């Protein structure tokens, strides 16, 4: 348990770290770290129905906490990597991530893992993205991902609009960290999400069965926390402690559910699960 608490306290000296600073105007294929490669995109939420406390989307399922522009400065999450069952074709994808922005803005600063079906074979890896810039996968020699692994992740931003994304595999005791300056980021929402990623359209959602998030399932204390400025003061609390939290279900274009999000746990509002229903589209 001491090891798990170090992620959100910033004490990562015992972990394997990879860290770079990337200027927003130079974030592209040639300026990427040596141990990452470009991949498909994880784009802002595509709203089908946008309510006060619930919403539907064709690419996102999970929770968002919304606020005023410039209000969000940090979000943490933890999850257990789901195993996927794969058909021979087509390829299918399921992304699990934590991030800032994208609910009602044009950027997303995020880090997560994927459980994909590529040519009928289950494939697992870590990635990050400062959308609309490239998304990158992390070399598995730097950070490996396997079904059942416990993941803890964090996205934070400083006063100079530099975002830092960190992901730690608590099972393998490996970690990855990188930063980028995003001057146009709105900083108006924080999210913990399952996504069907994008490549010319929303891709089929891989059969992950159930994705479990939060300390009830991972044992990671203080995960599913958001730091947000409310009334001029920074407030740190669980997703459920904010009145502006939104429960999101993923649906197809006709409104049929693809991924169903559970209510937040009572009383702490930190844990939830998402059930796969269909691949879509």
The CATH T-level fold of domain 2-276 is Jelly Rolls (2.60.120)
Annotate 86-144 with DSSP letters as a single string: --SSS-BB-EEEEEES-SSSS-EEEEEEEEEEETTEEEEEEEEEEETS-EEEEPTTTS-
**Structure confidence at residue 7 (pLDDT):** 36
28 or 175, which is more confident?
175
Q: How confident is the model at residue 12 (pLDDT cuts 50, 70, 90)?
A: very low
CB 143 within 8 A of CB 174: yes
**No. of helices (H) and no. of strands (E), the chain:** 2, 20
Q: Give per-residue pLDDT as tens, 152-165.
A: 999 999 999 999 99
How far CA 68 is from CA of 151, 227, 234, in Å, comes to: 29, 13, 13
| pTM score | 0.88
Per-residue pLDDT, averaged over 220-249, amounts to 96
Domain residue limits, the chain: 2-276
Lowest mean pLDDT among 37-41, 88-92, 115-119, 230-234: 37-41
pLDDT at 281: 78
Q: How much is the pLDDT for 51?
A: 83
What percent of the chain has pLDDT above 90? 81
Per DSSP, the three-state class of 267 is coil
**pLDDT on residue 37:** 52
Look up residue 281 and give its two tokens: 């589209």
d(CA 133, CA 135) in angstroms, rounded, equals: 7
């Amino acid at each position: 348990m001491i090891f798990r608490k170090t992620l959100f306290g910033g004490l990562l000296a015992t972990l394997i770290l990879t860290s770079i600073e990337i200027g927003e105007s130079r974030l592209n294929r040639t300026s990427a770290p040596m141990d990452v490669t470009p991949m498909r995109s994880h784009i802002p939420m595509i709203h089908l129905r946008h309510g006060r406390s619930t919403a539907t989307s064709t690419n996102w399922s999970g929770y968002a906490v919304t606020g005023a522009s410039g209000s969000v400065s940090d979000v943490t999450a933890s999850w257990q990597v789901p195993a996927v069952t794969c058909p021979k074709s087509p390829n299918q994808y399921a992304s699990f991530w934590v991030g800032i922005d994208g609910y009602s803005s044009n950027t997303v600063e995020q880090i997560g893992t994927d459980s994909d079906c590529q040519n009928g074979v289950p494939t697992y890896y870590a990635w990050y993205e400062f959308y609309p810039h490239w998304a990158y996968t992390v070399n598995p020699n730097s950070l490996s991902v396997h079904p059942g692994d416990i993941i803890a992740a964090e996205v934070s931003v400083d006063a100079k609009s530099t975002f830092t994304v960190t992901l730690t595999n608590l099972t393998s005791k490996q970690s990855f960290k990188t930063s980028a300056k995003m001057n146009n980021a709105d900083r108006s929402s924080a999210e913990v999400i399952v996504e069907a990623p994008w490549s010319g359209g929303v891709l089929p959602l891989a059969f992950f069965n159930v994705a479990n998030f939060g300390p009830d399932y991972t044992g990671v204390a203080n995960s599913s926390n958001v730091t947000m400025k409310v009334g001029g003061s920074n407030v740190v609390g669980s997703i459920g402690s904010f009145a502006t939290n939104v429960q999101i279900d993923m649906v197809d274009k006709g409104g049929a559910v693809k991924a169903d999000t559970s209510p937040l746990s009572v009383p702490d509002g930190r844990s939830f699960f998402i059930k796969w229903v269909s691949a879509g589209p």
